[in-house]
Structure 1
Amino acid sequence: MATGVPEVPLGGGPERANAAAQRNWRSAARLSSAADRIETFLAEAGFDRGPWLAVAFAAGIGAWFRLSMPWQWLAVIALAILAAVAAQALWRDRDDRANLRLAVISLAIVVAAGVAIVWLRSAAAGAEPLPSPRVERIEARVLERIDQPAEDRLRLVLAYRDAEAGLARKVRVNVPLAADREGLAEGAIVRLRTRLMPPSPPMLPGGYDFARTAWFQGLSATGSLIGEVEVVQSGRDASSLAGVQRALAAHVRERLSGSPGTIAAAFASGDRGAITRADEEAMRDSGLTHLLSISGLHVSAVIAAAYLLSIKLLALWPWLALRVRLPVLAAAIAAGAGVGYTLLTGAEVPTVRSCIGAVLVLIALALGREPLSMRMVAVAAIAVLLLWPESLVGPSFQMSFAAVLAIVALHGSEPMQAFLAPREESWVVRFARRAVMLLMMGVVIEIALTPIVLFHFHRAGLYGAAANVIAIPLVTFISMPLIALALLFDLVGMGAPLWWLAGKSLELLLAIAHFTATQPGAVKLAPQMDLATIALFVIGGLWLALWRGRTRLLGLAPAALGTILLIGTPAPDMLISGDGRHVGIAGEGARLLMLRDTRSEFARDNLLELAGLEGEPVPLGRWNGARCSRDFCTLAIDRGERRWTLLMARSRDMVEERALAAACDRADIVVADRFLPRSCRPRWLKADRRLLSRTGGLALYLDEPRMQTVAEGQGEHGWWRGAGR
Structure 2
Amino acid sequence: METKNEPDFPSVYRGREAGATLQILLRLDQTLQAQRGVLLTWVPVCLGLGIGWFFLLRSDPGFPTWCLLTLIILLALPLTRCRDGRAMVAWAILLICLGFLSAVARTTLVQAPVLTFRYYGPVEGRIIAIDRGSRGALRLTLDHVRLARVAPAKRPARVRVSLAAGSESPEVGATVATTAHLMPPQGPSEPGGFDFRRYAWFMKIGANGYTRVPIVVLKPAQEGLYLHRFRYHLSRAVQDRLGAKTGGFAAAIIAGDRSGVAPEELQALRASNLAHLLAISGLHMGLLTGFVFTALRFFLCLFPALALRWNIKKISAAAALAVGAVYLGISGASISTERAFIMVFVMFVAVLLDRRAISLRAVAVAATLVLLRRPETLMSPGFQMSFAATTALVAVFGWIRTQRLAPGPAWLHPVLTVVVSSAVAGIATAPFGAAHFNALSHYGLLGNVLAVPIMGLVVVPAAVLSLCLAAIGAEMIGVFFLQLGLEWILGVANWVAALPHAQSGVVMPGPWVLPLFSLGALVVLLWKGGLRWGGLCLVGLSLAIWGQTDRPVLLVSANGSLVGVLTPEGRALSRATSQGYTAKSWLAADGTPVSQAEAAQRWTALAKGRGIWVSGHRIIHITGKRRAEAFVGCHASDLVVANTVLQHTGPCAILGPDGLRRSGSIAMTQNGILISANELAGDRPWSRP
Provide the TM-score with structure 1 as the length reference.
0.85
The alpha carbon displacement at 1:63 in A equals 0.8
* Residue equivalent to 2:577: 598
1:380-419 maps to which residues of 2 (within 5 A)? Answer: 380-413=366-399, 415=400, 417-419=402-404
Match of 1:694 among 653, 662, 668: 662
How far, CA to CA, are the matches of 2:372 and 2:138 in structure 1? 34
What is the deviation of 1:472?
A: 1.2
**Could you say what the CA RMSD is over the residues aligned between the two structures, in angstroms?**
3.2
- The 5 A counterparts of 1:433-582 are 433-496=413-476, 498-582=478-562
Q: CA deviation at 1:231?
A: 3.3
1:113 matched to 2:98? The reply is: yes
| Counterpart position of 1:145 | 129
Match of 2:161 in 1: 173
Q: How many pairs are equivalent?
A: 677
1:705 partnered with 2:672: yes
Q: Give the 3-state SS of the residue equivalent to 2:425 in structure 1.
A: helix
- The alignment partner of 1:609 has SS state of helix
Corresponding residue number in structure 2 for 1:51: 41
The residue number in structure 2 matching 1:277 is: 263
1:307 aligns with 2:293: yes
User: What secondary structure sits across from 1:257 in the alignment?
Assistant: helix
2:128 maps to amino acid: E
What CA distance in whole angstroms lies between the structure 1 residues aligned with 2:71 and 2:17?
21
Task: Spell out the pairing of 1:326-337 with structure 2 (5 A cutoff).
Answer: 326-337=312-323
Q: How does 1:78-93 map to 2 (within 5 A)?
A: 78-79=67-68, 81-87=70-76
Structure 1 residues 237 and 396, CA, compared in 2 at 3 Å: closer, same or farther?
Answer: farther
Q: Distance in 1 between matches of 2:81 and 2:218?
A: 68
CA distance in 1, matches of 2:422, 2:67: 43
Task: Give the alignment of 1:597-636 within 5 angstroms.
Answer: 597-617=576-596, 618=598, 620=600, 623=603, 625-627=605-607, 635-636=611-612
Distance in 2 (CA, whole Å) between partners of 1:430 and 1:77 is: 60
Query: Structure 1 91/253 Cα, relative in aligned 2: closer, same or farther at 3 Å?
Result: closer
Give per-residue Cα distances to partners, 1:572-625, cap 9 Å, x unaligned: 3222111111112232425x4211122543133112112221222336477553
1:83–1:105 CA contact under 8 A, matched in 2: no
Give the C-alpha shift of residue 380 in structure 1: 0.9
Amino acid across the alignment from 2:505: L
User: Where does the alignment leave 5 or more consecutive residues of structure 1 unmatched?
Assistant: 1-17
1:635 partner SS: coil
The answer to whether the 8 Å contact 2:191/2:665 transfers is: yes
Q: In the alignment, what sits opposite 1:4?
A: none
- Aligned equivalents of 2:397, 2:310: Cα separation in 1: 32
- The residue number in structure 1 matching 2:249 is 263
Shift of 1:543: 0.8
Q: Which has the larger radius of gyration?
A: 1
The structure 2 residue matched to 1:646, chosen from 613, 619, 624, is 619
1:393-432 superposed Cα distances (whole Å, 9 cap, x missing partner): 111111111111111111222x5532546xxx9xx71233
Q: Which runs of 5+ in 2 are unaligned?
A: 1-7
**Compared with structure 1, are the counterparts of its residues 328 and 496 closer, same or farther at alpha carbon in structure 2 (3 Å cutoff)?**
closer
Are 1:36 and 2:26 matched, yes or no?
yes
Give deviations 1:24-74, integer Å, cap 9, x for gaps: 9888766544432221112235562212111111111111111112346x6
Q: Which has the larger displacement, 599-608 or 256-265?
A: 599-608
Q: Is residue 447–residue 492 contact of structure 2 (8 Å, CA) maintained in 1? A: yes
Q: CA shift at 1:158, angstroms? A: 2.4
- Distance in 2 (alpha carbons) for counterparts of 1:319 and 1:419: 36
Q: Which position in structure 1 is the counterpart of 2:88?
A: 103
**Aligned partners of 2:136, 2:604: CA distance in 1, in Å?**
36
In structure 2, the CA distance between the partners of 1:438 and 1:312, relative to structure 1 (3 Å rule), is: closer
In the alignment, does 2:59 pair up with 1:69?
A: yes
Determine if contact 1:695/1:709 at 8 Å carries over to the other structure. Answer: yes
* Most deviating of 531-540 and 520-529: 520-529
Q: 1:78 to 1:399 in 2, by over 3 A?
A: farther
Q: For 1:677 and 1:103, locate their aligned partners in 2 and report how far apart those are by CA, in whole Å.
A: 65
Q: Which moved more, 1:672-681 or 1:40-49?
A: 672-681
Mapped partners of 2:363, 2:80: distance in 1:
31
Per-residue displacement from partner, 1:494-540 (whole Å, max 9, x unpaired)?
Answer: 44454343323222212221222233333231222111222221111
Q: Post-superposition shift, 1:123?
A: 1.5
**Match for 1:50: what amino acid?**
L
1:507 partner SS: helix
Comparing 469-478 with 524-533, greater Cα deviation is found at: 524-533
CA contact (8 A) 1:129 1:219 kept: yes
TM-score (norm 2): 0.89
Q: 1:176–1:576: structure 2 CA closer, same or farther, 3 Å change rule? A: closer
Q: Say whether the 8 Å CA contact 1:185–1:234 is kept in structure 2.
A: no
Residue 664 of structure 1 aligns to which amino acid in structure 2?
H
- The one-letter amino acid paired with 2:50 is G
1:155 corresponds, among 140, 147, 151, to 140
Amino acid paired to 1:246? Y
